Structure 1
C-alpha cells in the first residue's frame, strides 16, 4: 500500500469517522457519512458581510466533506445536490486525497 492509499484510508477512517467528526446525512437520497463545516464557510464569508443588503431572501451556504467513492462522480459547478431533503447548487468542488470538499448554496426566505 502506497502513501496516497494510506492518506485516503486515514481520511475515511478518521476524518469521516461517525464517532469522531462526521454525521450521517443524505446526498441525492443516499445516506453517507458527511462532515459539515459551518465555521469554514463563515470564514470564507467574512469579507462579504460588510456589503450585505437585507431583502428577506438570503443564500444558505454549506461546506461539506464526503468520501469521493461514496458520492460517485465529482459534482461540477452549478450541479444540483439534494442534501437532507433540500436542494443546493454546487459553487465549487475539490478532491482532497479522496475527500470531496463541496461548497454549495441555496436561496432561502
Structure 2
C-alpha cells in the first residue's frame, strides 16, 4: 500500500518537467532541472527589515531542486554557482524530496 509520501515523490516528476515548471540550469557546473522563484523572495524581502548600503544591492532568488539531483546539500554561507553567476547560500530547507535553497548575490 502506498502512503502520502510515495505519492508526493511520484508527483515530483510533474513539477520538475521541462514542459511544465522546470528549466535546466548549470548548478555548480552540472546541468540540473530546477524551478527558480523570484516572486516569492520579493514578498519575503518586503516583509524583512534588511538595510541597504549605498551603491550595493542584493539579488535574491529561491531555487527548488530535487534532493536526489544535487550531489551534496549546500550549507549556509557556502559559495554556489548558478549559470556561471556567483551566489552565497542564505538558507536551505527540505520539502518532501525537494531542497529549497535561498541564494544571495551582492551587486553594485
State the TM-score, normalizing by the size of structure 1.
0.88
Q: CA–CA distance in 2 between the matches of 1:67 and 1:47?
A: 28
Moved over 6 A (4+): none
**For structure 2, which runs of at least 5 residues remain unmatched after alignment?**
none
Structure with the higher helix share, 1 or 2? 1
Match of 2:67?
A: 68
TM-score (norm 2): 0.89
The separation in 2 between residues aligned to 1:8 and 1:15, in whole angstroms, is: 11
Residue equivalent to 2:105: 106
Root mean square deviation, CA, Å: 1.7
Q: Secondary structure at the match of 2:102?
A: strand
The 5 A counterparts of 1:39-78 are 39-48=39-48, 53=52, 55-78=54-77
The CA distance in 2 between the partners of 1:89 and 1:28, in whole Å, is: 12
- Unaligned residue ranges in structure 1 (runs of 5+): none
Give the aligned length.
107
